[in-house]
Structure 1
Amino acid sequence: MKPATIDKELRITTQNDQDAYGGTLQLDWIPLEKHYLITGLDVVLDYLDADQRQFDTTTTSFPFPVTTVTDDLFNDEANMKTYALYAQDEWNIINDFVLTAGLRYTWVDSELEETNDPGLTEESSDDTNLTGSLGLVYSGIDNLALRTLYSQGYRYPNLLQLFIGTVHGSSDPTFANPDLDPETSDNFEVGVRFDNKEFLLDLTGFYSSADDYITTVVVTGGDKYDNVDEATTYGVEMLAQYTFESVGITPYINGTWIRRKFETDAGPTKDTGLPDLNGRFGLRYEKNLEIIPALWGDLFVRAASDADKEDLSDGTVEHFDGWGTLNLALGVDLGKRSQYKLSLELNNLLDKEYTHATESLMAAERHVVVKLSATF
């Protein structure tokens, strides 16, 4: 007698439609001598309509072959409303010193309005938060500026993370977590910038300590959005370029060295799926013509090093390979004030197959992007 077998095939198709409406009302003031005050209101309204179809085929061989087919369609509707008031004051304390202080107060309301998915529950969440920043810039040396900044960060989980989850980006689903806490952080940076109109060098060192950092953890049947008790991130960012004005050519490099450490109940780990190195380098050409204000081209490589990500539940480590792509961008500025910009981007010219760290879907192969923008 042949052993009994069970064959299962599950096909999932999704269609997510998200509409976002937003606006900013900003007023700039000079209330006192040496003060420049910026105040404003931000409003963002997000509406998500998510459809997921699950086509499940099960075939059993005992006592005789039987095939069962189920076809389920789930629909979820969710929304998030975000409002923020902000103010920032630039104070020219004394010659060559500028002190900048800012405050931002945020309200968030989110809701899963409707769902017919038995694994989800219609519910809502809301939060408010006040963040601040304080920075100082010294520019008393020719072609040189020194800066330091402290800022607080705030990130509220999005609708997919809170209510719906996703099947994109992995062979297994990533489940929502309505109990997610907003992520908060304290951020520090120091920097130096040298610019004599030919050679530009900008170096920034940064450090961030985040509480309730939002990431994913492995659970039965897939992954789940969850908070990490603490995440520490630090690194250095660099931009260097030299312009040969006579020919309009600028070689440049822009890159970041970064490390991140998670503190969890299971212990610390630096294998967080973040590449140590990432950035781009290339040659940029720009020429001003009589008819066209600016004609430019940019041939560059975008790249990232390899990365490891530790499964916080059992300590196993997944490795992600590094990658690099060759790209070309061409564009023109049009109009008397260069208010119109037209560009053509030829991305991944060598048609390299690669994936970004922590993702399982292949990145885009050779493709073309056309952009037209206008400034009023």
Structure 2
Amino acid sequence: MDFGLSDEQQAIRDEVRRFAENEIAPVASEYDREEKYPWELMDKAAEMGLTGANIPIEYGGAGYTPLETALVVEELFAVDPGIGLSITSAAFGADAIREFGTEEQKEEYLRPVAEGDAIMGTAISEPDTGSDVSSVSTRAEKDGDEWVLNGNKMWITNGSVGDYFVVMTETDPEIEDRYSGFSQLVVEADRDGFESEKITGKLGIRASDTAELIFDDVRVPEENLVGQRGMGFLQLMQFFDETRTMVAAQGVGIAKGACERALEYAQDREQFGRSISEFQAIQHKLAEMHTQTEAARNLTYKSAWSIDNKDDQLTQLASMAKEFASRVAVECADEAVQIHGGAGYVDDFDVERLYRDAKITQIYEGTTEIQKNVIARELLGKGM
């Protein structure tokens, strides 16, 4: 078993970390406070291949493996999760088109994102439908050679800045099987009847755009169908194995950032005439934080490796990684604030922002409770 990174992978990690520290760190607090999308950084990120990290080289992307993509995510989130999410989610939905789309769709939708000329998103959740994906009510009806969409989506990443979205919609409501009858359609934001409304006041990841989408008789051509009609739900489940692994990488990044800042502060801060890092209580906190982070990292890397190697345990590993790494992110951010004391409770220090940002990793791409359901289902048999 080889637990080391190759020279190329280490170079990717180092380059991304330098970019994050030099370009993101100085402005992270500002973007968080003002809840604004980091347009100024997106071009620089695209030039480095970060907006198209998981897009194949033949479509303008970096062609990174899932493990290499996880390294990118980890390093960006260790510096700032909000801007990190904006960069890594620019291609949110690319996996579906890469795996199930036509050559024409790949060229039309993947290349602009990889080259920094477009932003995309995935629209799944609805106001009344979150974890229960099979209950989405957005509907697309066939009218000649077009699809007509009606409904709305909620909590959509890149919702008010995206150029197009992979939308989960019901296309065959007469089918009784609750997992069939759904399809994925690409919907461009400039089509008549499409509206978006930015959501503000979020607890964390404030530099990342989140919005509600409204479809009012939005017409898209037949060629915007992704893959086979009626297979949208099954496509999405495969999509989740990858995205949940990347959320696990987000958690590892947040935990790493919290560990780094807590260690530095503990060594600098003095109480009772000596560094607080000399107190056993603080040492135990630091030891636990770093141990948990390393455990989460190894589980996440194994899940990422499993994507590339078509491992039979992928679904179970992806949910394990997401559940564990997101929990570690929250716990490490909490302990980092505790080590900072009162200083950690104000935005003068990054740990306050990490503390707020960490929680979302336990919610999006399937809540912690859903991950436990998936893990148990895989352990007890898929027929459960």
* TM-score for both structures, normalised by structure 1: 0.24
Greater relative contact order structure (CA < 8 Å, 6+ sep): 2
Larger Rg: 1
